[in-house]
Structure 1
Amino acid sequence: MTEHSAKLERKPVWDIYVRLFHWTLAASILFAWWTSEQGGNWMSWHMYAGYTVLGLVLFRLMWGFAGSHHARFSEFVRSPITTARYALQMLQRREPHHLGHNPLGGWMVVALLLLAAAQASTGLFANDEIITEGPLVHLISYDLSVEITRWHKWLFDILLIAIGLHLLGVIYHQLFKREKLVQAMLHGRKPASADAPSYPFAPFLRGLLLALVAAAIVWNLLNLL
């Protein structure tokens, strides 16, 4: 029986927390960019967006170990050899289908998380040399703060490149491979053969607890140091 003739079912893949994380992170980064472009009083909102990004990344790191099956790093972070083999297969247009993240997509998730974390973290120590300062700028020297501000701006350019590559990957799978990735990130399910394993989502309360832990870490970081 071919893949096209096999009976397909919609399997649960992305739980509510993965979906909320994805769209909220995208909105927060976009809002952070827009407010930085506006400057002035909008910089306070720029900082709030940065705190949101930091909290989201902290949550996703925890959810990568305690979340649903397809959200866990152990499910989608593959070895360099496996990833290179998948990339070669993709160039030959014969790559295997993955219900969750494929090996390249998995490493892109890691890269985006690390870049977003670095971007938000450097913002805590940055200053615009006029009036706006990060909440932890008092912990370091002025010269170091100016240098970290340069990193903050440089990292955003790298983050934009990574986001662009991510979007190209989505477009490739959405349009050329006919995989409904965007739709799946809205309702959480993807079509798969009936005999493919199905994994239930992690308990809702577990995600809520970890979200509160992430928020508490950020709040303490901003208020106790």
Structure 2
Amino acid sequence: MRHSMHDSVGATGRLREKILVWDMPVRIFHWLLVICFAGAWLTSESERLQMIHYAFGYTACLLVLLRLVWGVIGTRYARFSQFLKSPQAVLVHFMAMLRRHPHHDVGHNPAGGLVMVALMLLILLIGLTGYLSVKDFLGNFSSEAHEIVSNLAMAVVILHILAAIVMSLLERQNLVKSMVTGKKYGMPEQAIRYPQYWLGVLILLGSLYFFFLILSGSLPALTQ
């Protein structure tokens, strides 16, 4: 498959190639969170599926907490220090997008990083208000807050999806696919060295086990 010069040549004039950017924990986190958020949303109105809803919701919170830790100690592009920028940097990024100047850093762009962190915080808030609702704290307020925050999170999810499509077109590479393969275009020296497969597998297995514990009622403190 041929690529344009814009795709394959970096700012220095050197050829860009597919390099490993996203480690396995980041990819596992991302797609499990997609499944959990969608599952929790689809089961939110059914009393019959209440325990499944709890399992999806609490597992999403667990994944976010793990991602927060990995954002501090993880590989280069997983770290918040790599993509959390100042408001000025986010504004500059938006202005560059309006001028159709694509983002060439191989990690998250400043706007995408901001949306990602906002979504993680919203998911934790959904979990907190859901827990308060289960425990019947604060009466109807906790249930109403749970629904409001969930709707706000869905709006952010939709924004995230639209942004991924737009940035894929601007950067001329499939950003959704890159979160599956872990690879994006960049210079060889920009690649991460270790994919951390073993840790990704542990996160997957741990999350599935936690999901099972919630679903089976083995953690009644969270569901009763």
Q: Does 1:168 align with 2:162?
A: yes
Q: Distance in 2 between matches of 1:7 and 1:95?
A: 17
Q: Does 1:51 align with 2:58?
A: yes
**Secondary structure, aligned partner of 2:19:** strand
Cα offsets for 1:180-208 (capped at 9, x unmatched): 211111111112134x4222237555667
Alpha carbons of 1:202 and 1:8: their partners in 2 closer, same or farther (altered >3 Å)?
A: closer
Cα deviation for residue 223 of structure 1 reads 5.9
Structure 1 stretches of 5 or more lacking a match? Answer: 127-133
Q: Distance in 2 between matches of 1:33 and 1:206?
A: 28
Cα offsets for 1:78-134 (capped at 9, x unmatched): 0111111111111111244120100001101111111111111211111xxxxxxx2
Instruction: Name the structure 2 match of 1:113.
Output: 120
**Secondary structure, aligned partner of 1:97:** coil
Q: Does 1:72 align with 2:55?
A: no
**Secondary structure, aligned partner of 2:22:** coil
Alpha carbons of 1:94 and 1:67: their partners in 2 closer, same or farther (altered >3 Å)?
A: same
Instruction: Name the structure 1 match of 2:36.
Output: 28
- State the identity as a percent: 33
Picking from 96, 99, 115, the partner of 2:106 is 99
Alpha carbons of 1:121 and 1:110: their partners in 2 closer, same or farther (altered >3 Å)?
A: same
Picking from 151, 157, 160, the partner of 2:151 is 157
TM-score after normalising by structure 2: 0.81
Name the Cα RMSD after superposition.
2.5
Contact 2:61–2:123 (CA under 8 A) maintained in structure 1: yes
TM-score after normalising by structure 1: 0.81
Instruction: Name the structure 1 match of 2:190.
Output: 197
Alpha carbons of 1:206 and 1:32: their partners in 2 closer, same or farther (altered >3 Å)?
A: closer
Could you tell me which amino acid in structure 1 is paired with residue 54 of structure 2? M
Cα offsets for 1:120-158 (capped at 9, x unmatched): 1211111xxxxxxx2xx16x4xxx042111100000110
Picking from 173, 176, 181, the partner of 2:175 is 181
Alpha carbons of 1:121 and 1:174: their partners in 2 closer, same or farther (altered >3 Å)?
A: same
Instruction: Name the structure 1 match of 2:25.
Output: 17
Picking from 41, 62, 73, the partner of 2:69 is 62
Structure 2 stretches of 5 or more lacking a match? Answer: none
Cα deviation for residue 175 of structure 1 reads 2.9
Q: Distance in 2 between matches of 1:203 and 1:35?
A: 33
Q: Distance in 2 between matches of 1:188 and 1:207?
A: 12
Q: Distance in 1 between matches of 2:163 and 2:58?
A: 28
Contact 1:16–1:188 (CA under 8 A) maintained in structure 2: yes
Contact 1:14–1:70 (CA under 8 A) maintained in structure 2: yes
